[in-house]
Amino acid sequence: MKTSLFSVNKNICAECSLALRRFIGGLDGDASIDAQQGRIAVTFDESVLPEETIVRITKESIEKLGYRVEE
To the nearest 10°, the Cα dihedral for 4, 60, 68, 16? -90
Q: By CB neighbour count within 10 A (0-12 exposed, 13-18 middle, 19+ buried), where does 56 fall?
A: exposed
Q: For 7-21, write each residue's pLDDT tens digit.
A: 999 888 889 888 888
Q: For 28-65, write each residue's pLDDT tens digit.
A: 777 888 888 889 999 998 888 899 998 999 999 999 99
Q: List the domains of the chain with CATH numbers.
A: 2-70 (3.30.70.100)
